[in-house]
Structure 1
């Protein structure tokens, strides 16, 4: 499907033009400001939707503009009307050859268009990432955005995990474990129980010693009392006899009492408890260090798993790209750019870049076989020859804008209207 006829009235600088193109190269020429860019814009606006329409599409002094585009199989009419506030409204209608109108005209046209359908030279001016995004449309079955989102999530997660590993390793290395740390924890509770038993034993001895001291004191008091009573033997003989007997009995008890056991040395036991506490603290540090190192090892395993997931997605993407039918042999994907025969696209020659860009535009637009080139004046004779050869070989129609042309078939735009074809004599000048 190509353009059979273009009619445009009051569009930008155009008054009224009617062009029925012939051949594969449709060259629009004329001085700057005469309306040649308006011709190509009219084609673009008729097909590509309102997003691309400029703020003032209607010719100055007019209230209405219209574009009629005959594509053979369908006819497209876009109309612009000026509002009182100088803004505009626009409507579009698409008819088939039998006059039937499409209920969703823009959706129908969007199915014909590709991102590069009108200006492949724009592709050569894109940065590497933009070119890469444009080329991804040829790789089916791969959700590049989902892959990028998943990889970013895993990159971020892996960064967090690696940061955790670093912190855990630093934490583990900061834990100083004494060289004499025991292999097993010492039961200091048993030592404390033993200390308590020793305390009870020693307390009992002290109580018994105090009891014996009390008895000795009592004997002393009895002796004193007996001595005092002896001074009054006559009155206290009976009392004296009793006291002497009682004292004798107590002496016999003391004489027969078993020797007191030796007191337990609790200082040594306390030292053993202190040693057990130090040993257990050292063991606790060893166990803490082992726990932290285990966490670090687990985090490293997580990081490795994330890395593997990222690599697997990248491999799958590369395999899909390798199987894709790209429009140009040798065309491939780099990290942030496209490659041509393994070399970054921007390092290819101008001719290679042009051939590649035009081939991509053609491949992206198999239905509407129309290409627009706005900056045709930048193309030299060799580039124009390449463009013409590719258009003829693939049966495409290229509308190209140039300031000057020596070709007899070029369409001259002057003061918003078609002046005529450039004469060969003019080209010779």
Structure 2
């Protein structure tokens, strides 16, 4: 047996008490009749935050308010009291007792243990956006990893990937916009000193060859002159033969030099020397360009590492979700939200949505099996009957706030609220 009792809370005047053995409890009435006050009081009773949920919990004609819950099967009594002080401030106190009167030292922990967390409202779940629905479902599922920790790792990895992607794209942009060196530009700067030395050496060689050729011509003339003189001065042959022999040797040496020597073409060296400053500027451009290419490649590899980290985390999450046991065999999740038989939650008909939401609400098998539905008017007669059937099958009590009187043939516990009291 479960008993819910609310006294002087918000719009409740006096005490409203309801007892049930499970199934649906319909709290109904017109606007401002007190049905929301009753449901809100029960909701705060099971929430450790207490007065922070409702800033003015005490009825304006009273000095204190109370919410109570008794469950004989669980041997527990939960009480929350609100008292208005002389200064007008409201103080809230939460207490948990065994039915023999023994008081628990840590009431909030007892409630958390009994309920497995906050009491779940499936009607609010239906109004959530897809991703919050997905997150709440995953917190009802036993996973082979810490979901908050893994999602924190994923967010950090995605931020790192985004940052490195921006840096890599900036580096690649620098390469794209950089001045490329001309084709054929050497990798290292050209030395002006070395070019000048080579040019001087080539010019000296050419001058030597030219002088040797001129010497050949000159010596030949001398030989002819001597031959002429020999003809005229036969008497002087003996005297001049020695000189002639020496001259012939020198002529042979000079002839060899002139015939074997090859003139070096200095055109290319002179052009290189004239263009050396431009070449060296292009060399610097090439060094800058290659540095930018290396930086862009390095940043691209860093981004690839970050991207791999994100994908590894996402794969771990996907692998964990594959083996997760959801509270309904048709439930699963995608990156965007909750799926029911592979169909996005938002595309389901109302009955499927209510069934799935109730399955999520009743997941985890807590000791205290209670579901609170604030927006009961969203449910038609068929949905109410279906929820009541599921509640009875699973041993749950469902408190439903409802302004509409149409409930079909539903067999339930009804509380009709009129002017803050049970009629």
User: 1:163 aligned to 153, 163, 166, which one?
Assistant: 166
Q: Are residues 1:363 and 2:355 paired?
A: no
Q: Are residues 1:323 and 2:323 paired?
A: yes
Give me the TM-score of the superposition, normalised by structure 2.
0.74
Q: Are residues 1:172 and 2:171 paired?
A: no
Assess if the C-alpha contact under 8 Å between 1:139 and 1:321 holds in 2.
no
Aligned to 1:130: 132
Assess if the C-alpha contact under 8 Å between 1:16 and 1:416 holds in 2.
no
Greater mean deviation of Cα atoms: 365-374 or 309-318: 365-374
Map Cα deviations across residues 328-366 of structure 1 (whole Å, 9 max, x no partner): 113222223212122211111110110011111111452
Query: Following the alignment from structure 2 to structure 1, what is the Cα–Cα distance between the partners of residues 163 and 36?
Result: 54
Measured after TM superposition, the shift of residue 391 of structure 1 is 0.7
Aligned length: 350
User: 2:421 aligned to 417, 423, 427, which one?
Assistant: 417
Query: Following the alignment from structure 1 to structure 2, what is the Cα–Cα distance between the partners of residues 44 and 20?
Result: 16
Compared CA separation, residues 136 and 175, structure 1 to 2 (3 A): same
Q: What pairs with 1:303-318 in structure 2 (closer than 5 Å)?
A: 303-318=303-318
Aligned to 1:241: none
Q: Are residues 1:182 and 2:180 paired?
A: no
Q: What pairs with 1:26-425 in structure 2 (closer than 5 Å)?
A: 26-49=25-48, 50=50, 53-72=53-72, 73-114=75-116, 117-137=119-139, 138-173=141-176, 174-182=178-186, 185-191=189-195, 272-364=272-364, 366-403=366-403, 404=405, 409-419=413-423
Compared CA separation, residues 158 and 29, structure 1 to 2 (3 A): closer
Aligned to 2:3: 5
Partner SS for 1:391? helix
Measured after TM superposition, the shift of residue 393 of structure 1 is 0.9
Structure 1 unmatched runs, 5+: 199-266, 420-429
Assess if the C-alpha contact under 8 Å between 1:373 and 1:401 holds in 2.
yes
Map Cα deviations across residues 201-244 of structure 1 (whole Å, 9 max, x no partner): xxxxxxxxxxxxxxxxxxxxxxxxxxxxxxxxxxxxxxxxxxxx
Measured after TM superposition, the shift of residue 67 of structure 1 is 2.1
Partner SS for 1:178? coil
Give me the TM-score of the superposition, normalised by structure 1.
0.73
Structure 2 unmatched runs, 5+: 203-266
Partner SS for 2:275? helix
Partner SS for 1:363? coil
Measured after TM superposition, the shift of residue 321 of structure 1 is 1.0
Query: Following the alignment from structure 2 to structure 1, what is the Cα–Cα distance between the partners of residues 188 and 66?
Result: 94
For the pair shown, the structure with the greater C-alpha radius of gyration is: 1
Compared CA separation, residues 273 and 160, structure 1 to 2 (3 A): farther
Query: Following the alignment from structure 2 to structure 1, what is the Cα–Cα distance between the partners of residues 326 and 398?
Result: 22
Map Cα deviations across residues 276-317 of structure 1 (whole Å, 9 max, x no partner): 443333333333322322222222222212111111110110
Query: Following the alignment from structure 2 to structure 1, what is the Cα–Cα distance between the partners of residues 126 and 116?
Result: 16
Map Cα deviations across residues 29-54 of structure 1 (whole Å, 9 max, x no partner): 22322222222222212221215531
Assess if the C-alpha contact under 8 Å between 2:372 and 2:398 holds in 1.
yes
Assess if the C-alpha contact under 8 Å between 1:117 and 1:364 holds in 2.
no
Query: Following the alignment from structure 1 to structure 2, what is the Cα–Cα distance between the partners of residues 107 and 334?
Result: 33
Map Cα deviations across residues 121-152 of structure 1 (whole Å, 9 max, x no partner): 11111111221221121143433443344333
